[in-house]
Amino acid sequence: MLTINQLTKHYKGSNKGVTNISLKIEPGDIYAFIGHNGAGKTTTLKCIAGIHGFDAGEILIDGISIRENPIAAKEKFAYIPDNPDLYEYLTGIQYLNFIADVFGVSVGHREKRIEKYAGLFEITPSLGDLISSYSHGMKQKLAIISALVHEPKLLLLDEPFVGLDPKAAVILKDIMRETCKNGGAIFFSTHVLDVAEKLCNKVAIVKDGTLVTSGNMEEIVKEGRSLESIFMEVVDNV
């Protein structure tokens, strides 16, 4: 579903960025991407999402290169950033309609999906209000609904649980599992290692822009240890 080969991206005039990152996310994977602040998680996600260009390497989404054919590649995924800066001058429903129009979602499908997810996240009554009146958590919920409105094969989520109330966090985890059960894949960054350990079947740890370890969760977290202790050991020793 998502193949990252030798991804290298450095910001001009700065040492920050990522170097030689390679990952493979298969259909059905819930893949956690963890690392300390500034490790390169958001940079990697933005490169995959086509927001940043990159210096070297290749990113294929469902076999389509984000560099060579960005439009076709972007049709396959949805991206939610760590800080949901949405169009505050639109109402929630206008924003969802805008995203649905861009992805060419039919009226029937968008109605059904918006009804379903807005109902689950309990923000249907607020969809007629301006996004500027939303709390951080409501914006996050709206961003999640907008990502689901076109049923993408791949979800790219940057810190998706930040700002969500406990109930919404549980609902999002259920949606993530359901998406993967239906053949989709999820690649998300998080600092909540507990969630990553319980929810994900695969994990990658990044430090200072390079991949430290990656693979199946059960192979990395073994012998009764927690992901937290593995993470601390890996980032301290490498």
Partner 1 sequence: MFRQIKNLSKLQLCNLYGMNTFRFTKDKQVKRKTKILMVIWIIIIFMLISYVSGLTYGYIIMGLEEMSLAYLIGISSMIMLFLGIFKAGSVIFNKNGYDILCSLPVSQTAIVVSRFVRMYVENLLLALIVMIPGMIVYACLMKPDVIFYLAGIIVLIFLPFAPVTIATFIGAIITAISSRMKHKSLVEAGLSILLVLAVLIPTSRVSGLEGQITPEMIKELSGQALSILKKIYPPAIWMTNAMRTGELLPCLGCIFGFLVLFAIMIWVVSANFHFICQSLYGSVAKHDYQIENMKKDSVLIAMYKRELKRYLSSSVYVANTIMGPIMAVIFSGTLLFMGTDSIEQVLPVSIHIENLIPFLVAGIFCIMTTTSTSISMEGKEWWIVKSLPVTTKNILDGKILLNLSLILPFYLVAEVLLIVALKPAVLQMVWLLVIPPVIILFACVFGITMNLKFPLFNWESEVTVVKQSFSAMIGGLGGFFMAIVCAVPVALVPEEYLGLTMVAVCILVLVITVLLYRKNNGVNLQEI
Task: Return residues touching partner 1 (CB under 8 A).
Answer: 11-14, 46, 49-53, 70-75, 79, 81, 85-94, 97-107, 110-111, 114-115, 118, 124-130, 132-133
- Identify which of residues 14 and 237 has a Cβ nearer to partner 1 in the complex: 14
* Residue at token pair 């649905």: 100
d(CA 26, CA 30): 9
**CA atoms of 33 and 212, how far apart (whole Å):** 11
Residue 56: which H helix or E strand, with range?
strand 56-61
- Nearest approach in angstroms of CB 37 to partner 1 is 18
Torsion angle, alpha carbons of 187, 93, 162, 205, to 10: 10
52 and 41 Cβ atoms separated by less than 8 Å: no
Residue 216 corresponds to which tokens in the numbers above?
């199946």
Q: Nearest approach, Cβ of 137 to partner 1 (angstroms)? A: 14
Nearest approach, Cβ of 191 to partner 1 (angstroms)? 20
Closest approach of Cβ 151 to partner 1, in Å? 14
CB of 115 to partner 1, least distance (A): 5
CA distance 188 to 34: 9
Nearer to partner 1, 91 or 214 (CB): 91
Residues 131, 145 contacting (CB under 8 angstroms): no
**In terms of CB distance, is 81 or 220 closer to partner 1?**
81
C-beta of 11 vs 233, nearer to partner 1: 11
Tokens read off for 130 = 């301006």
In the bound state with partner 1, the residue whose beta carbon lies nearer, of 118 and 220, is: 118
